[in-house]
Amino acid sequence: MFIFRLKRTAKLGIKSLWMHKLRSTLTTLGIIFGVSSVIAMLAIGEGASRQAQEQIARLGSRNIIVKTVPPPEDKDVGSQNESMRIYGLTYLDAERFRNSIPNVEVVVPSRRLVQQAWYRNRKVAIEVIGTVPWYPEISPIQLKFGRFLSSIDMHHKQGVCVIDENVVKELFVFDDPLNQDVKLEGDYYRVVGVVSPANLGEAASAFERDNSKAKSQGANVGNIYIPLTTIKNRFGEISIQFGGGSGRSVERVELQEIIVKVGGMDEVLPTRDILETLLSRFHKKNDYQIVVPLELLKQAKQTQRLFSIVLGSIAAISLLVGGIGIMNIMLATVSERTREIGIRRALGARRRDIILQFLSETLLLTFVGGILGMSLGSLIPFLVTRFGQMPTVITGISLVLAFGISGAIGIIFGIYPAYRAAYLDPIESLRHE
């Protein structure tokens, strides 16, 4: 009985909405845009969040990254241009980490330099990473061809290198890179392996900006890995930087980075504290920075949640505006159809019949708007990803949420006009012209 009533009511609703096609369409548009913007906003927010989390996760959730940072400038010595500043992490630090902290699995020291790499007449900006053979254990890079650096390379300070696929793409357009020679600052290095790009992306490198003076020289294409002993031998540890004016600073840094990997995620934070204590004893100059990807991950999740809430709220407001539009139209419809309401009441319609009639029209509008909005809302993130090169993720929850909200809006904003209609005096409404 009820279902059959509902079916007829819905039919009646469809009919009267169909009679006012333009009005119904315009009203529905509000809901369509509202729902689709909720879905699109949430998808973009979620996409950005996943991307950031992925990038941070690539840094390794069990890793603790200790970086060399220039100590705060001493203004007194600022005038002594020729003096050499010695700071940063040392081989001794790496040794201490390895020997004195019990739950450390791997310690990977590395030096980083921004250089130009040559192959025949091609030249690209790259980052040279001087490191140890077990570097892949703390990095997301994967070996594609050949081999990674070996302990023999280390021991003999060999001129070998492993390059990533981005470098291959730029330097070796058609050639097989294996066993070719790449030139870095006058020396040749034989390519022994190719790895996937480390590709840390923007979010992960954001925290590197502080100490990436060298990077200001320009974006580098990719990484070239050479043995740590080789980089020390061939490039030395002293770098000369030409600052503003006539100033010139000479710096000596042994290691740019030591990455420590611990056994489990729950050991990350305690180990971090031990490292901090240990370092603070030997580095009075505060020339290091400890980065914990796990913490960054947590922070990023929080920030992104906030981001999603803000985006979602803005979209929800547009949904609200759509709802108000619906209410407005339904109120107009009610006063336009006052006479019809009077007729129906005289012919036996109860108040609840009238409420149901008008509410069903509103619900139909929001239902159709919700469905179309969901389709459009799923299309927008697709286009954003396709043409904006931005990752988007449509979650089931956002669809349910948007649809639920539009339904709720239908009820909330439909109920008042419906009540207005139902509580009209039938005698008055019959007289209404």
Partner 1 sequence: MTGGKYNAVEFEKDAPILVMERLCKSYELGTMELKVLRDVALTINNGDYVAIMGPSGSGKSTLLNMIGCLDRPTSGDYWLGGQNVSLLDDDQLSLIRGARIGFIFQSFNLINQLNVVENIEVPMYYQGFSEHESAKRAIELAKIVGLGDRLDHRPSELSGGQQQRVAIARSLANDPLIILADEPTGNLDSESGLEILKILVDLHLQGKTLIVVTHDEGIAENAGRIVEIFDGRIKRQ
Is residue 426 a contact point for partner 1 (CB under 8 A)?
yes
Distance CA 225, CA 131 (A): 7
- Give whichever of 120 and 431 is closer to partner 1, judged by the CB atom: 431
Binders in 353-372 for partner 1, by CB under 8 A = 353
How deeply is 119 buried, as exposed, middle or buried, from its count of CB atoms within 10 A (0-12, 13-18, 19+)? buried
Is residue 16 a contact point for partner 1 (CB under 8 A)?
yes
Is residue 3 a contact point for partner 1 (CB under 8 A)?
no
Applying CB under 8 A, among 6, 8, 143, 390 the residue interacting with partner 1 is 8
Distance CA 343, CA 333 (A): 15
Q: Which two tokens stand for residue 116?
A: 């130009």
Q: Which two tokens stand for residue 206?
A: 């954001």
Taking Cα atoms as reference points, which of 209, 176, 197, 177 lies closest to residue 126? 197
- Give whichever of 54 and 353 is closer to partner 1, judged by the CB atom: 353
- Give whichever of 147 and 351 is closer to partner 1, judged by the CB atom: 351
Helix, strand, or coil (residue 302): helix
Number of CB atoms found within 10 A of residue 8's CB: 11
Applying CB under 8 A, among 19, 173, 219, 240 the residue interacting with partner 1 is 19
Q: Which two tokens stand for residue 332?
A: 């107009």
Under rule CB under 8 A, how many of the chain's residues touch partner 1? 24
Distance CA 13, CA 19 (A): 10
Task: Output the smallest distance, CB 426 to partner 1, in A.
Answer: 5
Taking Cα atoms as reference points, which of 401, 335, 345 lies closest to residue 370? 401
Task: Output the smallest distance, CB 347 to partner 1, in A.
Answer: 4
Is residue 111 a contact point for partner 1 (CB under 8 A)?
no
Distance CA 116, CA 221 (A): 10
Task: Output the smallest distance, CB 418 to partner 1, in A.
Answer: 16
Look up residue 254 and give its DSSP letter.
Answer: S
Distance CA 110, CA 192 (A): 19
Task: Output the smallest distance, CB 11 to partner 1, in A.
Answer: 9
Is residue 24 a contact point for partner 1 (CB under 8 A)?
no
Q: What are phi and psi of 221, to 5 degrees?
A: -75, -40
- Give whichever of 183 and 432 is closer to partner 1, judged by the CB atom: 432
Task: Output the smallest distance, CB 411 to partner 1, in A.
Answer: 22
CB within 8 Å of 164: residues ≥ 6 apart? 141, 194, 195, 196, 197, 198, 222, 223, 224
- Give whichever of 5 and 305 is closer to partner 1, judged by the CB atom: 5
Applying CB under 8 A, among 6, 15, 210, 390 the residue interacting with partner 1 is 15
How deeply is 3 buried, as exposed, middle or buried, from its count of CB atoms within 10 A (0-12, 13-18, 19+)? exposed
Contact criterion met (CB below 8 Å) for 67 and 291: yes
- Give whichever of 157 and 339 is closer to partner 1, judged by the CB atom: 339
Q: Which of these segments, 8-16, 179-187, 260-268, 327-335, binds partner 1 (CB under 8 A)?
A: 8-16
Task: Output the smallest distance, CB 10 to partner 1, in A.
Answer: 12
Binders in 257-286 for partner 1, by CB under 8 A = none
Task: Output the smallest distance, CB 14 to partner 1, in A.
Answer: 12
Q: Which of these segments, 4-12, 73-81, 204-212, 312-320, binds partner 1 (CB under 8 A)?
A: 4-12
CA dihedral (365, 366, 372, 373) positive or negative = positive
Q: Between 322 and 351, how does the x/- string for binding to partner 1 read (CB under 8 A)?
A: -----------------xx-xxxxxxxxxx
Q: Which two tokens stand for residue 50?
A: 């996943």
Task: Output the smallest distance, CB 366 to partner 1, in A.
Answer: 21
Query: In the complex, which residues of this chain contact partner 1 (CB under 8 A)?
Result: 1, 4-5, 8, 15-16, 19, 339-340, 342-353, 426-427, 430
